[in-house]
Amino acid sequence: MTGTAVRIGLVLPDVLGTYGDSGNAAVLRQRLRWRGIAAEVVDVHLGAPVPSGLDVYLLGGGEDEAQALAAAHLRAHPGLQRAAARGAVVFGVCAGLQVLGSSFVVSGGTRHAGLGLLDVSTSPGERRAVGEVVVEWDREPLTGFENHLGVTTLGPGSRPLGRVVAGTGNGDGTDGAVTGHVLATYLHGPVLARNPALADLLLSWVLGTPTGELPVPEVGELRRERLRAARAGRWR
């Protein structure tokens, strides 16, 4: 943490906000407040410099043009990269995953440079991946919804978040990528609302200590229903 309140950077919600991933910021803020920890969400919009002093940065999903625009903006305003270099937590979803990588190719064939915080590259696949996903993670199964054309290849500098047991994910049987405190996935949902344990992992990195249990009802029944539906191939 860099101050008395945890500062959650919602990066370019006006560009990377297609699939409701901005809700991940609300989830982190509320889970901190339930623990008696002050927290605030800082929106970083297109055209504004990216602060380098925040505690955690969240990037969401977006279409090709928006994704390329976001990558160009973040390369021109490298506050996020400076924050990651000092150990700040960075979390990306879908387009956010691709932007955090070394490069991505949009559907028209143009290759764009990413931020290089994850050792991944992405190119369009033959078929769009749409539907519920289940990912076996080392803590518990993760559930989410994917809608993307990208096939993501990991290099030796990143490891996958988990193994896909339903859905597509990266396209090679895995989903997501992790390097240090930079973590990304193809799962929408918002994914941190569906998977409180993943939210608490990010918060433990921010706080530098395990978060412990929360004395509030969790989304157990919703998780179980989504896991059953995805494994049965029923995602609508």
Catalytic residues: 94, 188
- DSSP 8-state secondary structure symbol assigned to residue 50: P
The continuous run of DSSP H or E covering 164 comes out as strand 162-166
Is residue 197 within 8 Å of residue 143, measured between CB atoms?
Answer: no
- Torsion angle of the four alpha carbons 198, 203, 209, 212, in this order, in degrees rounded to the nearest 10: -60
Task: Categorise residue 97: left if φ over 0, alpha if ψ from -120 to 50, beta otherwise.
Answer: alpha
**DSSP three-state, residue 220:** helix
Half-sphere exposure of 25 (CA within 13 A, CB side): 23
- What's phi and psi for 202, nearest 5 deg? -60, -40
Residue 135 corresponds to which tokens in the numbers above?
A: 């990912």
Task: Give residue for tokens 């090709």.
Answer: 64
Residue in 230, 194, 228, 200 with CA at minimum distance from that of residue 214:
200
